[in-house]
């Protein structure tokens, strides 16, 4: 059996009891470690689970999945994923490949950022599609997120923006020379995300949002040091210190809101009076 085991959002104790039983008895244990990370490292997990873990990087999952699936028709293989196993496309692919090989698959769900973000006080019912934000370079500024946000806002919905992480990336030079030297990991912050959003609005000028649009920055959702900061996009450009270490996410508010959402998120506001003023003018339902 191939088990897809969700690890949840934060540390080694976020695994479910069911998931822990699977990990303890599986023949091999993989950890998918390129679409998200926990707040603890591999050694902590190995010690807690009492198992050694093989790191499955993008190359292995996307090009060498048969190694992960080896003998999974006869024994149990645990493929562990931060959050919930069905957050990312890649894992759908793995399941389809398992089906081709007649390997049975079982899923152990867990918290995902897509539901855990509810802890910021915005109602999950009021969220539209989720978007991703990648690190811009001088020459590459993919802006498809902008159109998706436009769609969500056209019907009043909030947008969860998941931000980029770069692990095990090679510099162009090292890649060209075939040197297996990797850059230090990089995790996008709420500040970087907010300023890239404003950069694209500046360029497109479609008024999908402005520097005064309300948003919530989230850090380490579901962890003991979980932190939210709410304010305008402009304010959130400068709140990385308050938010602290990765992982970050950002929610851009839609205009279909509930009073409870105002009250709950006001607690986290950079400037509570400004929050109230903009909310009353632009977000309050009549």
Binding residue ranges for S-adenosyl-L-methionine: 9, 84, 87, 112-113, 163, 221, 248
Distance in Å, CB of 89 to its own copies, minimum: 6
Contact between 252 and 201 (Cβ < 8 Å): no
Q: Which helix (H) or strand (E) covers residue 10, if one does?
A: none
Q: Is 258 in the site for its own copies (CB under 8 A)?
A: yes
Question: By CB under 8 A, which span of 78-86, 177-185, 239-247, 274-282 interacts with its own copies?
Answer: 78-86
CA-closest candidate to residue 190, choices 147, 154, 221, 169: 221
Q: Is 9 in the site for its own copies (CB under 8 A)?
A: yes
Q: Which helix (H) or strand (E) covers residue 46, if one does?
A: helix 42-49
The angle subtended at Cα 250 by Cα 12 and Cα 150, nearest 5°, is 140
- Identify the residue among 114, 134, 143, 242 touching its own copies (CB under 8 A): 114
User: What residues have CB less than 8 Å from 121, skipping those under 6 apart?
Assistant: 216, 228, 260, 261, 263, 264, 265, 267, 268
Mark 207-236 with x for binding to its own copies (rule: CB under 8 A) and - for no binding.
--------------xx-x-x----------
In whole angstroms, give the CA distance from residue 14 to residue 83: 9
Q: Is 53 in the site for its own copies (CB under 8 A)?
A: no
Is the CB of 119 or the CB of 211 nearer to its own copies? 119
First-residue to last-residue Cα distance in the chain: 54
Is the CB of 217 or the CB of 223 nearer to its own copies? 223
Q: Is 260 in the site for its own copies (CB under 8 A)?
A: yes
In whole angstroms, give the CA distance from residue 266 to residue 103: 50
Distance in Å, CB of 235 to its own copies, minimum: 22
Q: Is 32 in the site for its own copies (CB under 8 A)?
A: no
In whole angstroms, give the CA distance from residue 25 to residue 264: 43
In whole angstroms, give the CA distance from residue 49 to residue 46: 5
Mark 142-161 with x for binding to its own copies (rule: CB under 8 A) and - for no binding.
---------xx-xx-x----
In whole angstroms, give the CA distance from residue 2 to residue 67: 12
Question: By CB under 8 A, which span of 11-19, 167-175, 194-202, 210-218 interacts with its own copies?
Answer: 11-19
Q: Is 86 in the site for its own copies (CB under 8 A)?
A: yes
Backbone φ and ψ of 33, nearest 5°: -130, 40
Return the exposure string of 124-158: e unless at least 16 CB atoms fall within 10 Å of the residue's CB, then b: eebbbebbebbbbeeeeeebebbebbeebbeeebb
Q: Is 119 in the site for its own copies (CB under 8 A)?
A: yes
Question: By CB under 8 A, which span of 8-16, 183-191, 203-211, 236-244 interacts with its own copies?
Answer: 8-16
Q: Is 164 in the site for its own copies (CB under 8 A)?
A: no
Is the CB of 130 or the CB of 230 nearer to its own copies? 130
> Which chain residues interact with its own copies by CB under 8 A?
6, 8-9, 11-18, 20-21, 83-87, 89, 92-93, 95-96, 99, 106-112, 114-116, 118-119, 121, 123-132, 151-152, 154-155, 157, 221-222, 224, 226, 258, 260-261, 263-264, 267
């Amino acid at each position: 059996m191939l088990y897809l085991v969700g690890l949840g959002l934060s540390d080694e104790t976020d695994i479910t009891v069911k998931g822990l039983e699977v990990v303890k008895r599986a023949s091999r244990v993989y950890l998918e470690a390129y679409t998200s990370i926990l707040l603890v490292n591999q050694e902590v997990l190995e010690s807690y689970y009492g198992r050694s873990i093989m790191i499955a990087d993008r190359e292995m999952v996307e090009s060498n999945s048969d190694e992960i699936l080896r003998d999974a028709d006869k024994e149990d293989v645990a493929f562990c994923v931060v959050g919930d196993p069905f957050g990312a496309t890649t894992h759908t692919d793995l399941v389809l490949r398992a089906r081709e090989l007649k390997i049975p698959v079982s899923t152990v769900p867990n918290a995902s950022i897509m539901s855990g973000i509810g802890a910021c006080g915005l109602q999950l019912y009021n969220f539209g599609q989720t978007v991703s934000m990648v690190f811009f370079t001088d020459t590459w500024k993919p802006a498809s997120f902008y159109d998706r946000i436009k769609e969500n806002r056209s019907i009043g919905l909030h947008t969860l923006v998941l931000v980029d992480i770069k692990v095990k990336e090679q510099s162009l030079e090292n890649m060209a020379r075939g040197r297996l030297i990797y850059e230090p990991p990089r995790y996008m912050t709420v500040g970087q995300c907010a300023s890239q959003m404003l950069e694209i609005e500046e360029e497109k000028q479609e008024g999908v949002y402005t520097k005064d649009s309300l948003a919530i920055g989230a850090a380490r959702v579901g962890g003991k040091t979980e932190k939210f900061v709410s304010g305008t996009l402009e304010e959130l450009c400068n709140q990385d210190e308050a938010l602290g270490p990765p992982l970050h996410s950002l929610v851009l508010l839609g205009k279909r809101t509930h009073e409870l959402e105002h009250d709950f998120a006001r607690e986290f506001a950079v400037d509570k009076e400004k929050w109230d003023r903009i909310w009353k003018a632009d977000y309050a339902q009549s």
